[in-house]
Amino acid sequence: MSDQQDIAPAAQKPSRPWTRSLVEIIAAFLVVMAAKGALAEPFYVPSGSMEPTLLIGDALLASKYPYGYSAASLPVNVALPATGRVFGALPDRGDVVVFRWPGDTSQVWVKRVVGLPGDRVQMREGRLWINGEPVAMRPDGRGEAEDESGGVTPAARFAETLPGGREHILFKLKEHGFLDNTREVTVPPDRLFVMGDNRDNSADSRVSVADGGVGLLPVENLVGRVDAIVGSWDLGIKSQPVWTWLSGFRIARSFSSVH
């Protein structure tokens, strides 16, 4: 008599229909897209126009709910008829905002709001004026503006305080910049005046869309408010050997707030 016992084969799990797996994948994708469309979405900074607040290589998290929703809020660029904003609200002066560039809505840009509807905005000798009054500005030492290749340019730092008390740091690369003097503009309804913190290296509301700038930004083009930097990598390290690239991560900037 054999001492071996017969072992019954394990019961096989019924295979899941491929259609059910596909539905689950689609559902997960839609949940992610809905969250990106309604709550927040990550963006990447490719230029130095917002230095020193934002650096080239910063990864941003833009909250979408503060200003409501429009076609610009969608995580993909879709051409829809102008419908205004749902649950719309205006930014505060000093907010750093992400928006779809009026010249090509597939491009997403980031600037700081300095002028709201009804404001009179002008640059005089490198100083911002709002509603006939100069905006408070004081020297804040020196810094370095970085370009896309990792090169740096000496820059004067200034602390600017907008009406309402919001203070931020800006760069001035030149004593007499090309955009240091502009005509006074009254911001129309449903428009915003936005500027880069790197004042001599920013195509913003001081420059028309036809000339490559933002012009007066339609509120409908707003995507969201930049609240945090979630990560950052110095693109200048790309010119170094590959094994040094990890040193390009700016750990101190990760999960820092934006002012």
* Whether 49 is catalytic: yes
- Residue 149 is a catalytic residue: no
Q: What is the pLDDT of residue 19?
A: 59
131-168 b/e with 16+ CB inside 10 Å = b? eeeebebeeeeebebbeeeeeebebbbbebebbeebeb
Tokens of 132: 């006939």
Provide the pLDDT for residue 244. Answer: 76
Amino acid 83: pLDDT: 63
DSSP class of 254: T
What integer pLDDT is reported at residue 87 of this predicted model? 67
Catalytic residue among 49, 73, 202, 232: 49
CB 230 within 8 A of CB 200: no
* Kind of pairing between the strands at 191-195 and 217-218: antiparallel
| Beta pairing partners, 61 | 42, 228
Residue 85: its H or E element:
none
Q: Judge whether 251 and 229 are in contact, CB under 8 Å.
A: no
Position 9 scores a pLDDT of 45
| Structure tokens given for 33 | 């897209």
Question: For 183-200, how does the pLDDT look when each residue is reduced to its tens digit (9 = 90+)?
Answer: 999 999 999 999 999 999
Question: Does the pTM of the predicted model rise above 0.85?
Answer: no
90: exposed, middle or buried (Cβ count in 10 Å: 0-12, 13-18, 19+): middle
Burial class, 113, CB count within 10 angstroms (exposed 0-12 / middle 13-18 / buried 19+): buried
pLDDT tens for 41-73 read 778 898 999 999 999 999 998 898 889 888 777
What is the C-alpha separation between 233 and 57, in angstroms, rounded? 5
d(Cα 199, Cα 126) in Å, to the nearest integer? Answer: 8
pLDDT of the residue at 246: 77
DSSP code, position 35: H
As a whole number of angstroms, the distance between CA 20 and CA 28 comes to 12
Please identify every stretch of the chain with a pLDDT value under 50, giving residue numbers as ranges.
1-11, 13, 21-40
Would you say 52 and 157 are in contact if contact means Cβ atoms under 8 Å apart? yes
Q: Which residue in 64, 73, 111, 202 is the catalytic one?
A: 111
Q: pLDDT at position 34, please?
A: 40
Whether 200 contacts 172, CB under 8 Å: yes
